[in-house]
Amino acid sequence: MYFWLQVQFFQMINNKLTWPVVIISIILLIAVVFAIQIFGVRNRIDTSVTAYKFEVLDSPVSGMLKSNNNFLNILMLRMKNPGIENNGVFKFELLDNQGNQVRQISFGGMNIGDPGDLRFQFESIPDSAGKEYRIILTPDDSEPTVFVEVSKEEEISYTSYFRTVNKSLAAKSFANLLKGKIVTNLGFFSFWILLLFGILVYDLRKKS
């Protein structure tokens, strides 16, 4: 694959596409991606509780959530419906610390994998930062048994997400993501940097 890319780049050079055009094109591409990341609305991880085991969901199971950001809008839970045989109706609730229902979603057993992640997306809560909520899952009386992942404290494990609208926060998040990608794929990025440098040297020698 790398060899093919090298061939393509040197063919472009031979067709009078010089290195400044290549570099400008790459810079423009990076700028477009950066703009999409910053000005586009995205869902980003807010907080999570580590899973420990699957617990039988034969009575209401709950868990505490403290949101770190405003615009909380998604909760991901991991559940298990063996053989996808339970087609009952279940209820997801989000309560504030006064016990008032903030959000509610009803869902069927057929939405639960064996196992699988279940995504509960609701209208974002604009002032969720710093607030505590209680997550409650309530089963019906249907059979067979369904399970939900819980923590060591036997509370619902989850990953929560918030909707970004703050541009500086989005920029910081994107920078951290980009840094992580570079570290993870160091060989790939090193190849491209060396390739561009090689194109520059080749083109300058060709003109001299």
Does residue 132 carry a pLDDT above 70? yes
- Phi-psi region at 9: left, alpha or beta (left = phi > 0; alpha = psi -120 to 50): alpha
Domain assignments of the chain as residue spans, ordered by start:
2-41+169-207, 44-163
Give me the pLDDT at residue 194, please: 77
Tokens of 42: 């995205």
Q: What pLDDT, in 10s, does the model give residues 26-78?
A: 666 766 665 555 555 578 899 999 999 999 999 999 999 999 999 999 999 99
CB count within 10 Å of CB 35 equals 10
Give me the pLDDT at residue 15, please: 53
Confidence of residue 129 (pLDDT cuts 50, 70, 90): very high
- CA atoms of 138 and 161, how far apart (whole Å): 22
Give me the pLDDT at residue 68, please: 94
User: 50: number of CA atoms within 13 Å, CB side?
Assistant: 2
Confidence of residue 185 (pLDDT cuts 50, 70, 90): confident
Q: Which amino acid is it at 56?
A: V
Q: What pLDDT, in 10s, does the model give residues 146-176?
A: 999 999 999 999 999 998 865 555 566 666 6
Mean confidence (pLDDT) of the chain: 81
With beta carbons less than 8 A apart as the criterion, state whether 24 and 17 touch: no
Q: What pLDDT, in 10s, does the model give residues 35-45?
A: 555 555 578 89
C-alpha closest to that of 56 among 86, 101, 14: 86
With beta carbons less than 8 A apart as the criterion, state whether 133 and 148 touch: no
Q: Which secondary structure element, helix H or strand E, spans residue 188, and what is its range?
A: helix 186-207
Does residue 2 carry a pLDDT above 50? no
Give me the pLDDT at residue 84, please: 93
Strands 147-150 and 132-138: unpaired
Which of 7 and 128 is assigned the larger pLDDT?
A: 128
What would the mean pLDDT of 126-146 be, rounded to a whole number?
92
44-163: which CATH topology? Jelly Rolls (2.60.120)
- CA atoms of 135 and 63, how far apart (whole Å): 5
- CA atoms of 158 and 149, how far apart (whole Å): 8
